[in-house]
Structure 1
């Protein structure tokens, strides 16, 4: 069997500083029998220079060469590539694909014979906090950064030192969401000295959330649901009951929705009566070195599961692969994605 090449491309989305494979993950991938090529400059924003990749055994190449020659394309987000570009039949793509949000791309890539593997569809397994926990690892970075970002914007320390050597009253932090991001945000805020109240991020919790918002100094909302629009959980009306100087941060506010009514993607603004509202669904990129290292660990572990004899081996009888493989052999295998494509075709009146 001919050994294949794994290619790591640069991220081009605004504000995205992560890289899918870090130099320390190159050797484990080489040990699988794969060659590794990295787009020149791919790791620069995460503080991984090209020389670190070459020392680890990878080659650095221009973007066009990487997309033409790599058998397995690896990224954090789907590649931003011209619509005129055609992938080779049999090439594969591994990334946080969010396939339900890009059905047009999925249809086009399936027609071209590209195998797409959505790392974000790795099935949740009880107790899985190991190397293939793609979303959990990134969400923990998001929660940590959310607490730091909100604390930095807030007008005082979360536990204010007093002149007599004691401490003033702690800030009150409401964390909406009990997933990895919510737990990490709550734990970080507590370490900074805040009193933290956490509640579920679901529509049924809206009454509890609305009752908790007015007395909070900081509200952090972590309600992202992979493949779905986040529910609106914090209303404009409840935000305007907060005191001036309070902070509301929505980690879901992006192109696919928001959980805070007044949040706007990649925008920090002050609304009456003086509440800072932050919308940012890319907080993991604020800690690009750590987030990239965690992601690369997951990629190396996933490839260990997928590669046999130096080549990608798709086995749809494997339950994990059956969940993650979205397109293969020019077909769309994910039923929910296929239904989304059919819905688009019906709306557009296309054949």
Structure 2
């Protein structure tokens, strides 16, 4: 069983799908690991580290030649996978809906594509969940990005020259990224509040020392979607939420938005009119900017100033912490493959629950129900 680790080709992608640590673990399972030269360089993992871990290091063609499993962070074009074994697995984050043409390419090339972002959120798959591991770092980095753009200090400071008031930080969306954003902002000394459409998050917010901001007694507060994700709010709740947020956001110095609904455009949480109520010098970090944005006026890859407020819309936030995000991502992939490793077969064998959830293509066809409906 040969596992190939490729250098990422997407613009600005610094992560790598396997580190020397996981390469060594794959070798311990009995696999042969081949790494494309320079694959881990941008994340701080030198070729020598992979060689010391027992992997072979060479050009892309050498890495792919006879590969049974190809590991990636973002899905490469099918045309760049020439040389892999017919029926080889591609294990990566594949963005299946937006990149449908690429998925069709995998099918035509005979690649069995496995989308790690569609891993079901069940207990036994928690260690395989790339969305959670990467979102955790995104929430942390969002606060650091806000601090870098904000022209004032986060904590309250008492000096002989007077007192500096603590920054007020409002986190919208309390999933993995939101919870980490709350914790990080608190550690930096900000006064933190947060909101979500799921009422169950109130206790989570309070447990981190932040103030929950919720609409009460309006249908739609539960907001719990399938698989532990947030669902869509009722129109009544959306109206009540907008009114509550408008009053609260005008008093904030920092706003961090994290709301995403799988398979759909990001919900609009902050309008241009609400941005205009914030004082000049305030900062909004939109972690959903690449999926359409939670904030009106935010732009992918840019820091935009609207009404004196900075709207921060960095792309691929986990890649901006490439060493740690690669370490976590690669462990997710190892945990996934090792959990299904069949010693007798010398390869992983998926069960129906997880296989049906993440398998996009097989036998030359697109087979996932969400793509064939």
| Aligned equivalent of 1:349 | none
2:268 to 226, 232, 235: 232
2:130 counterpart residue number = 134
Establish whether residue 61 from structure 1 lines up as the match of residue 58 from structure 2: yes
Q: Distance in 2 between matches of 1:74 and 1:58?
A: 14
Aligned counterpart for 2:300 among listed residues 265, 275, 281: 265
Distance 1:40 1:208, change over 3 A: farther
Q: Mark the CA change 1:84 to 1:55 in structure 2 (over 3 Å): closer, same or farther.
A: closer
Q: Measure, in 2, the Cα distance between the counterparts of 1:141 and 1:100.
A: 24
Cα contact 1:138–1:291 (8 A) shared by 2:
yes
| 1-structure distance, mates of 2:346, 2:105 | 24
- Contact 2:67–2:85, Cα closer than 8 Å, also in 1: no
2:128 partner SS = coil
For each residue in 1:182-206, what CA deviation from the matched residue of structure 2 results, as whole angstroms up to 9, or x when unmatched?
0000110011011111111665344
Alignment of 1:107-256 (within 5 A): 107-125=104-122, 130-164=126-160, 168-200=164-196, 203=233, 204=238, 205-254=241-290, 256=291
Contact 1:265 / 1:280 at 8 angstroms: preserved in 2? yes
TM-score scaled to structure 2, two decimals? 0.83
The list of structure 1 runs, each at least 4 consecutive aligned residues, that deviate by more than 6 angstroms after superposition, is: none
Computed over aligned residues only, the root mean square deviation of the Cα atoms, in angstroms, reads 2.2
Alpha-carbon displacement from aligned partner over 1:65-90 (angstroms, at most 9, x marks no partner): 32343221101111146489686531
Give the whole-Å Cα distance in 2 for the aligned partners of 1:244 and 1:47.
38
Aligned to 1:93: 90
The 2-side partners of 1:82 and 1:167 are apart by 61
Moved more, 96-105 or 81-90: 81-90
The corresponding residue for 1:335 is 369
The correspondence of residues 10-29 of structure 1 with structure 2, limited to 5 A, is 10-29=7-26
The alpha-carbon deviation at position 156 of structure 1 amounts to 0.8
Q: Is the CA contact 1:172–1:216 (under 8 Å) kept in the aligned structure 2? A: yes
In structure 2, the CA distance between the partners of 1:320 and 1:48, relative to structure 1 (3 Å rule), is same
Q: What per-residue deviation string (whole Å, max 9, x for no partner) do you get for residues 267-309 of structure 1?
A: 112122x111111241111111111111111111111123323
**Number of aligned residue pairs:** 332
The 2-side partners of 1:68 and 1:173 are apart by 51
Deviation at residue 143 of structure 1 after TM alignment = 0.3
Contact 2:119–2:125, Cα closer than 8 Å, also in 1: no
CA apart distance, 1:312: 3.9
Distance (Å, rounded) in 1 between the aligned partners of 2:364 and 2:252: 52
Could you tell me whether the CA contact under 8 Å between 1:86 and 1:112 is conserved in 2?
Answer: no
Task: Give the Å deviation of 1:165.
Answer: 8.8
Select the residue among 276, 287, 293 that pairs with 2:327.
293
Give SS of 2:310's match.
strand
SS of equivalent to 1:158: coil
Listed one character per residue, the Cα deviations across residues 104-158 of structure 1 (whole Å, up to 9, x for unaligned) are 11122112221011111111125x6852122111100000000111011101111
Following the alignment from structure 1 to structure 2, what is the Cα–Cα distance between the partners of residues 225 and 284? 19
What secondary structure, in the 3-state scheme, does the structure 2 residue paired with 1:108 have?
A: helix
Q: Is the 8 A contact 1:177 1:221 kept in 2?
A: yes
Q: d(CA) in 1 for partners of 2:162 and 2:34?
A: 56
Separation in structure 2 between the aligned mates of residue 311 and residue 115 of structure 1, nearest angstrom: 18
1:23-42, aligned counterparts within 5 Å?
Answer: 23-42=20-39
Change (3 A) 1:261 1:53: same
